[in-house]
Structure 1
Amino acid sequence: MTYTGTLEVKAEVSIDDTGTVTGIAWPFGKPDSYGDLIEPTAFKFAPEIPMIVEHEQRQVVGIWNSHEVTDKGLEVKGRLFVEGVGPAREARRHLVAGSMSGLSIGYQLHEHKARPEGGRVLTDLTITEISLCRRPVHPDARTTEVKSITEGSSMENEAVQNPLVVEQKSDPVASQEEVKALKARMDAFEAKSNRIRGANNNHPNGQNDNSEKKALESFMRTGSIAEVKAIATDSNVDGGYFVLPTTDLTIRSLLTDLSPMRGLAEVVSIAGNKYERFYSLGKRGAQKVSERSDRPQDTATPNLIKHSYGVCEYYAAPTTTRTLLEDAAVDLSSWLINNVVHDFAETEGEDFMTGDGADNSPKGLLTYPTASEKDFAREWGKFQYVAAGATAPTDAQLSDALIKLISTLRRPYKGNAVFLMNSATALRLRQIKDTTGRYLWAPTGNLIEGVDHPLLGFRVEIDESMPDIGSGETPIAFGDFKQGYVIVDRQGIRVEQDSTTRKGWIVFDSYKRLGGGAGDFNAIKFLKISAN
């Protein structure tokens, strides 16, 4: 998968043929080799969609005349410029011979979401070009029919008078362009074989070629972008360089480990600077009527509430000496991750809980108001709390309040519900016993046996940003955090090297953009240390 600005190419490129070509550019119901799916409603189309060779923009060989989203997928039909374009005739030769039968789409991605199984679900995109290719990323994206425009209905006669055997015989005789391409691939394989093969988190067996890591290290030590350009998918000198794909995956994994809210909440990636969604209060309008009674024309209509989430910039600038960077024994990728990513993870984790939301920064979960009224009776924009029964609750009062807290959360949210508290609160609950000496929270005894030692049957997550037990505090949250809080990622971490501001030192300007805020205010409940 490659990026060019905001253009995302979903498959390897292929050469197309002269004539009329039909096929399925993107099949539904099966992910591609990256694990990506596209929703049928996601497609938009540019005014004109060129037919090109291997996503090579200078190799326009035709035009796609029609496109239609069907049950099978995105079906397309196009015309090759066989009358005057040499590459189009060459492409047709490969299509007829069967050596090229794949289709690959190029598009601008606007919105997507993560798939639980891995990969993404693309929900909004614009198709800008479609290529013919030998090896599409989606194995089922194939041409289904090739017709000659210049020969019209003589296609069947061509199969007899100019049989495919001629094409097959001549195909093994590689053209000059194919020889160059083969040589380039062999050079690339040789270059990869000379690189170090240390193990890392992505390939624990140590058999990977570490090309991305080596390119990143070379860029950080010398400032040279030669290898980065050869490997990276975007080398925009004005906007810096994206962290390379392998490193970016590692960064996201560490963020999930360090920031509990990032692992609990819904994470949405956006292409713009704002994310909007709607919630319905779900007022029922149905009424009982008799056979002859009038039907009312003013029944209740559900109210829609719009939430907007902006994004702000997070910035860090780790600095080190040139001498250290030139030391080949230093693991530069690990150094970058351990400094920058930990800074970002700790800062964003605090903001997800206590951020003030100023200048499009995340608004923390604990900063929203709470009220005791139940769902649909409570004002929207407030979370519900359950009182512990006292400003200094006893163990028995805490136990009763926990049971009431679980009961207050309505059934639709309990399937993914978890407790969230800090370690001091968890210690207090761990020490609560009944009259027979059995612990309230234990792996055995009066609770369910299981992994992670559930509290009253539900998993517990520890976040030190949660307050301690004290008068007026809300030390325990319980609910479905994926429904109750939204994290918005504008882009991954980007890095720019600065070796001129301070001689002898290298500064890595690192930044990312994100936002966040509450989602469904019915999905999370709080235990409040108060009498009522």
Structure 2
Amino acid sequence: MSAALKLETKSESEDPIVEVKTALETLTTEVKAKADNDNKLVARITELETKLARPNIIRGANDNVESSAEQKAFEAYLRTGDKAGPEELKTLTVSSDPQGGYLAPSEMSTEFVRNLVQYSPIRAVASVRSTGSPSVIYPARTGVTNAKWKGEAQTQEASEPAFGQAEIPVNEVNTYVDISNQLLADSAGSAEQEVRLALAEDFGQKEASAFLIGTGSNMPKGLFVDPAIAPYAATSNAAVSFEDFINVYYDLPAAYRANGTWGMNSKTLAAARKLKDASGQFLWQPSVQVGQPESILGRPVIELIEADDIGSNKSPVIFGDFSGYRIVDRVSMSILVNPYIRATDGVTRFHATRRVGGAVLQAAKFRKLKNPA
């Protein structure tokens, strides 16, 4: 009997109907679990779509930043007005409006509003060198020998070239800027970048101005104020003419005018663009290629902000090979950040320093157009 029972049990366990039933039950359980997961996923997607459909859901760069207490309080005030809780009202800043009210919380933007800083592109055309000394002395030949024609048996005469020196002192320009630590922190680093950019623009403008109109006293000697550059008299004290440009162009030696560049400010350039010759051809010619400068008599033009306007006893135009002006860099602009000197005031100081010199080395390479008095 025991053997019969064992045989019956074995037969039932190997019954294919039972196996299929068991497999179906297992599959049903798995499908149900998957369906539950799908339903949860659909519900989650629906919830996210609902949130995205709400106005002002996109906050920009600070999506993962939790609202401040002041922002939360202001939102509560907008929803409920004066019925907002005392804690929310205490958090808000009371405005100076006599009718009462509360100011919206401030937000520090990472975008800075800045004005354009213009300066003349003198460095792009001048001769630039570096030095490790407080000044640079260039030996200069100021004259040639004096050979003479002689007949047979006539005695030769001695002559000597003339030599001199041209010294370019290195000058320093500097300043410092104080910025509150709160501004530096709230701006996420952009305030410090703006300070550095402002200093670089300021120093660039100061340098360019000194290279053109500097007095030479504790600053570079300017190109326009150097008395060694020969002037050429214009035909009028209140205008420039087509003939003036031709005269200045050919008054410069051919070796120099081949590398010459015209320099003038925007007002003079506007007047030059209107000039025509007898056949109606414009003096000024537009660039024929992208990236190439406009030209006058085949030579490029640069805009020099510091140049004189057209007027009595003024020099509105300069022409020449600008390699005759030498710029000497001693130290590039350096910025020292000092967070300690005014730490008790919550202020960081930025020190900026630049050492540079400039002077005309070869005045013969230039001509100035000068209006008569």
TM-score normalised by L of structure 2: 0.63
The residue that corresponds to 1:102 in the other structure is none
CA distance in 2, matches of 1:422, 1:468: 7
The residue that corresponds to 2:332 in the other structure is 492
Tell me which amino acid in the other structure corresponds to 1:362.
Answer: P
Helix, strand or coil at the partner of 2:215 = coil
Deviations 1:101-147 (A, max 9, x none): xxxxxxxxxxxxxxxxxxxxxxxxxxxxxxxxxxxxxxxxxxxxxxx
The residue that corresponds to 1:511 in the other structure is 353
The residue that corresponds to 2:271 in the other structure is 428
The residue that corresponds to 1:276 in the other structure is 137
CA shift in 2, pair 1:354/1:453, >3 Å = closer
CA distance in 2, matches of 1:476, 1:425: 8
CA shift in 2, pair 1:295/1:440, >3 Å = closer
Structure having greater relative contact order (Cα 8 Å, sep ≥ 6): 2
1:303 aligns with 2:149: no
1:478 aligns with 2:319: yes
Is this contact kept in 1: 2:119–2:209, CA < 8 A? no
Equivalent runs, 1:188-337 vs 2, <5 Å: 258-290=119-151, 292-296=153-157, 298=158, 300-327=159-186, 329-331=188-190, 334-337=193-196
CA distance in 2, matches of 1:469, 1:341: 31
Structure (1 or 2) with the larger CA radius of gyration: 2
Is this contact kept in 2: 1:419–1:479, CA < 8 A? yes
CA distance in 2, matches of 1:358, 1:466: 20
Is this contact kept in 1: 2:248–2:319, CA < 8 A? yes
CA distance in 1, matches of 2:137, 2:180: 44
The residue that corresponds to 1:388 in the other structure is 234
User: 1:501 pairs with 341, 349, 352, which one?
Assistant: 341
Is this contact kept in 2: 1:318–1:339, CA < 8 A? no
Q: Which protein has the bigger helix share? A: 2
Q: Tell me how far 1:439 sits from its aligned partner.
A: 2.3
Q: Tell me how far 1:414 sits from its aligned partner.
A: 2.0
Q: Which protein has the bigger strand share? A: 1
Q: Tell me how far 1:331 sits from its aligned partner.
A: 3.9
The residue that corresponds to 2:366 in the other structure is 524
Deviations 1:47-89 (A, max 9, x none): xxxxxxxxxxxxxxxxxxxxxxxxxxxxxxxxxxxxxxxxxxx
The residue that corresponds to 2:226 in the other structure is 368
CA distance in 2, matches of 1:291, 1:350: 59
TM-score normalised by L of structure 1: 0.45
The residue that corresponds to 2:6 in the other structure is none
Q: Tell me how far 1:412 sits from its aligned partner.
A: 1.9
CA distance in 2, matches of 1:290, 1:432: 54
CA distance in 2, matches of 1:269, 1:333: 29
Helix, strand or coil at the partner of 1:492 = strand
Helix, strand or coil at the partner of 1:493 = strand
CA distance in 1, matches of 2:336, 2:305: 32
Is this contact kept in 1: 2:242–2:277, CA < 8 A? no
Gaps of 5+ in 1: 1-256, 370-381
Deviations 1:267-325 (A, max 9, x none): 121111011102212323333345543333x2x21111211111221112233221333
Tell me which amino acid in the other structure corresponds to 2:348.
Answer: I
Is this contact kept in 1: 2:199–2:352, CA < 8 A? yes
Q: Tell me how far 1:426 sits from its aligned partner.
A: 0.2
Is this contact kept in 2: 1:272–1:490, CA < 8 A? yes
Q: Percent identity?
A: 28
CA shift in 2, pair 1:258/1:354, >3 Å = closer
The residue that corresponds to 1:415 in the other structure is 258
CA distance in 2, matches of 1:281, 1:435: 42
Q: Tell me how far 1:475 sits from its aligned partner.
A: 0.3
Gaps of 5+ in 2: 1-117
The residue that corresponds to 2:97 in the other structure is none
Is this contact kept in 2: 1:313–1:514, CA < 8 A? yes
Equivalent runs, 1:167-206 vs 2, <5 Å: none
CA-atom RMSD in angstroms? 2.3
Deviations 1:157-196 (A, max 9, x none): xxxxxxxxxxxxxxxxxxxxxxxxxxxxxxxxxxxxxxxx
Is this contact kept in 2: 1:316–1:343, CA < 8 A? no
The residue that corresponds to 1:47 in the other structure is none
The residue that corresponds to 1:19 in the other structure is none
The residue that corresponds to 1:214 in the other structure is none
Is this contact kept in 2: 1:488–1:515, CA < 8 A? yes
Helix, strand or coil at the partner of 1:500 = coil
Q: Tell me how far 1:504 sits from its aligned partner.
A: 1.0
